[in-house]
Amino acid sequence: MAATMQLGVVNPKGLAQIFVEIRDRRTKAHIKQGTGLYINHLIWEKRNDEKALDKYTKNPEIARTLALATEIRRTINSIYETGGNPTKEEIRELVKSIVYRDELAALEAQKAAEEKKKRDAEKMTLNKYIDLYISQIESGARQTDKGTNYSANTVKAVKTAMLQWKDFQKATRRKLDFDDIDIQVYHDYTAWLKKKNYSINSVGKCISNLKVILEAARSEEYHTNVKYTDKKFKSTRVEVDSIYLPKEDLDRLMAVDCSKVLAICRAMDKEAGEDEPIDDKQNGKGYEIARDIFIVGCWTAQRVSDYNNIRKDQIDYFTRKFVAQEPDPNDPSKMIDVIKTETKTVINIRQQKTGAKVAIPCSSQLLSILEKYDYNLPHLADQNINDYIKLVAKAAGMTEKVEIMTTKGGTPKREFIPKYNLIHTHTARRTGATLMYLSGMDVYDIMKITGHSSPSTLKKYIKANELEVLGKIMDKYNYFD
């Protein structure tokens, strides 16, 4: 025998602590350890009386105390019977683990719950990752695949798209995490955007930005969900009806007296019975600057982030020698080869969005504008350019209605809109690409100026109509003669 249970000193309330005493001849162990269990000494003395025990054990507290004391004794005896030789400290911990089992289990459960709560708070969710992603592309902590910072326009587009995603969750009272994204969420989200009268391309941009962020999070091992890669989970895009300005329109814009734009537009509105206030953010000073910046955009065929920020240090000069034929001074009836030299002013641009470096020869109209500002083009906010160039175009008489096909809310719609209302900063890039194409320039040469990576991408910017393209083809080829 190794373990026996004994009572300690009886206190004034008649209660005594139960002790376990261990005596083992094999190991010569002699350990006495309090259990923390207390019992009335009279009950303890009658614990071998079945009738008395039956009466006492109807009290749950007494039954529990006796059962724990028995468990302690049996557990310790089992350890010694199997060759164990526990220390006094190990006996103390063993007794504690039995007596305070429920309390210890409750503490462990509480600790586990707190740790889970902490893990959940620290866990990366989709919405947390979206906020992190936006802050990183905004600060430059996350860069493009080419190692460059994201442009301000790209950051703005991502923020706008993700704002819609968060509004969608609020509207549907859902907090969508990585594993929730599936084809049903795609259908619900696109349907919600269409109800807001979003165009197909706007819906496509929202989906595209969401997919980019999901892919970035998956590559960083925040989730393993690949349902968004399904071909049905697509960012739809359709060709948009948009305009370019022929050379005559550029001349019309340049001919406008910008100091009279406001008066001309107000007079036109009054005559048409549309006497609406015109928001003039710069008190009439911005029209000429906006017009000149826009024309520079047309002749450079760049994005507004590049043509709205040209400085003197971007200007270079390219000199070339070429052979030309001229009448022989000694015999005017004959032509002779003459070596000539030509110097062309060139603008060097490192495109903000792609990092591509392009060199653009200056046309005479472009050169005159740059010289006007000593090659340091003023800067205007994009929205100001959009507002002002529409009014300059209106004053230039570009009021003819243009048929435009749009798809909003999933429904195709035909509209007739005054031409001046369709002009904005990106019209300049389309204009430049289209004018180069109609001049007969090779598509690959145009790409070297616009910075497009493929002919198919460039094609979206060429807005010539069928008759203009037909004229270009007939001028180039004699097949139809």
Could you give the domains of the chain?
Answer: 3-113 (no CATH), 126-229 (1.10.150), 247-476 (1.10.443.10)
Two tokens, residue 471: 């004229």
> What percentage of the chain exceeds 70 in pLDDT?
90
Which residue ranges in the chain fall short of pLDDT 50? 466-468, 470, 477, 479-481
Which residues, in sequence order, are bridge partners of residue 336?
A: 326
For residues 225 and 218, is the Cβ–Cβ distance under 8 A? yes
Rounded (5°) CA angle 426-429-432: 145
Largest CA distance in the chain: 148
Two tokens, residue 317: 């000069």
CA distances from 85 to 34, 79, 178, 287, 339 (A): 19, 8, 54, 96, 109
**For residues 444 and 453, what is the distance between their CA atoms, to the nearest angstrom?**
10
pLDDT value, residue 406: 62
Amino acid at 16: A
CA dihedral 208, 210, 216, 218 (to 10 degrees): -120
Beta strands in 28-122 (DSSP E): 29-40
Q: How far is CA 322 from the centre of its chain?
A: 51
CA dihedral 464, 469, 470, 473 (to 10 degrees): 170
**For residues 315 and 37, what is the distance between their CA atoms, to the nearest angstrom?**
93
Rounded (5°) CA angle 419-420-422: 70
Looking at beta carbons, which pairs linking 474-477 to residues 24 or more positions away fall under 8 Å?
475/440, 476/440
Is 158 strand, coil or helix?
A: helix
